[in-house]
Structure 1
């Protein structure tokens, strides 16, 4: 099956809000804790091997990487790869810079249609994952969580991880967050959940707005 995301290519890298491209096409942000498998998931979703790069030193990449989707001359959309978060080795000043960059981008970027949040299925909803949700959910835009590396869990462990994350997200709904919060199991290695993720993300990019077809 042909997917729009398969027509993705590198566009630009930015390190400050002032350098964000003056584009009008919709954007999908990809966020996740360092080592959660974000780069691998982006590559699999886009059917490419090295579109997104993982840093050899987790947590050191502090840039926002843009990938254009669709025709080169007039992209249909942009995928936005946000810096990984959560490693203590990163100096305090760098952490402060990139936390400000992330929160400001997520809360103010009008073109954003939603955020795909990667969580390692063995350690979902860490404190930093929750911070990302709390930064973004008040915008009223959807967050879809991919519980990555589920191939490393047994079937029952995967079910338990999914249920625990669903329960955690319900707490945010009950607290009055307006955005839709959904979650699924995902494995780049086994391609588990790939079609489901494609359908949801491309639904966000469709002309009729955000899809609500997720679990």
Structure 2
């Protein structure tokens, strides 16, 4: 996809703050510090549109990025960061759940995991939750440049097994450093944005 326009629009902490222009939305869900912001920046070939942080748990809102005036990337708060208070985690959980279940413009969730490590309990819980509610999902395994190419297939197999992914669930190894997986992911996103029978 050729990116002609990309802009940060809003950090929404409440449902009534979400954009009302009815553009389709691609949401990114993943644990804190898994590289969601870096993924967005690589996808649009911009270095700093989505702010990356070395401090896990920094994203506490739904961050909207409008792409080509055609759709949004929506960066959800990262899950699984222990230093966040229990009350804060509950609040984030309600925000994320309310968005994923109630947002009519949501077309696809990119479930972002770390290719280097087995999925965490929180990763497995998110995967189970997305499957239970039949939410269209692709799994993106980031930091693919951090392990040798020969080890990638076994790591992907472990992720598919641990998350109990259906054979037709897209699983893409991705690197924000090298751009590996970018074209494949764009192709899948574009298919997801195409009008379906329900639109």
TM-score by length of 2: 0.90
Provide the aligned length of Structure 1 versus Structure 2.
Answer: 198
Say whether the 8 Å CA contact 2:118–2:162 is kept in structure 1.
no
Report the equivalent of 1:177: none
1:149-160 to 2 correspondences below 5 Å: 149-160=143-154
1:204 aligned to which of 175, 192, 198: 192
2:156 pairs with 1:168: no
Aligned residues: CA RMSD = 2.1
State the Cα deviation string for residues 183-208 of structure 1 (Å, max 9, x = none): 11111112111111111112211235
Quote the Cα distance in structure 1 between the aligned partners of 2:178 and 2:65.
24
Report the equivalent of 2:99: 105
Report the equivalent of 1:54: 52
SS of 2:170 mapped into structure 1: strand
Say whether the 8 Å CA contact 2:7–2:65 is kept in structure 1.
yes
Give 1:6 shift: 5.2
2:179 pairs with 1:191: yes
Which 4+ stretches in 1 moved above 4 angstroms? none
2:88 pairs with 1:94: yes
Quote the Cα distance in structure 1 between the aligned partners of 2:99 and 2:41.
23
Give 1:131 shift: 2.0
Quote the Cα distance in structure 2 between the aligned partners of 1:124 and 1:65.
27
TM-score by length of 1: 0.84
SS of 1:67 mapped into structure 2: strand
Give 1:93 shift: 1.2
Give 1:64 shift: 0.7
Say whether the 8 Å CA contact 1:124–1:147 is kept in structure 2.
no
Query: Unaligned 5+ residue runs, structure 1?
Result: 175-179, 211-215
Quote the Cα distance in structure 1 between the aligned partners of 2:39 and 2:108.
16
Change (3 A) 1:86 1:209: farther
Single out whichever of 11-20 and 41-50 deviates more from structure 2. 11-20
1:33 aligned to which of 31, 34, 45: 31
Say whether the 8 Å CA contact 1:34–1:58 is kept in structure 2.
yes
1:44 aligned to which of 42, 53, 67: 42
Query: Unaligned 5+ residue runs, structure 2?
Result: none
Say whether the 8 Å CA contact 1:6–1:47 is kept in structure 2.
no
Quote the Cα distance in structure 1 between the aligned partners of 2:114 and 2:65.
23
SS of 2:111 mapped into structure 1: strand
Change (3 A) 1:152 1:172: closer
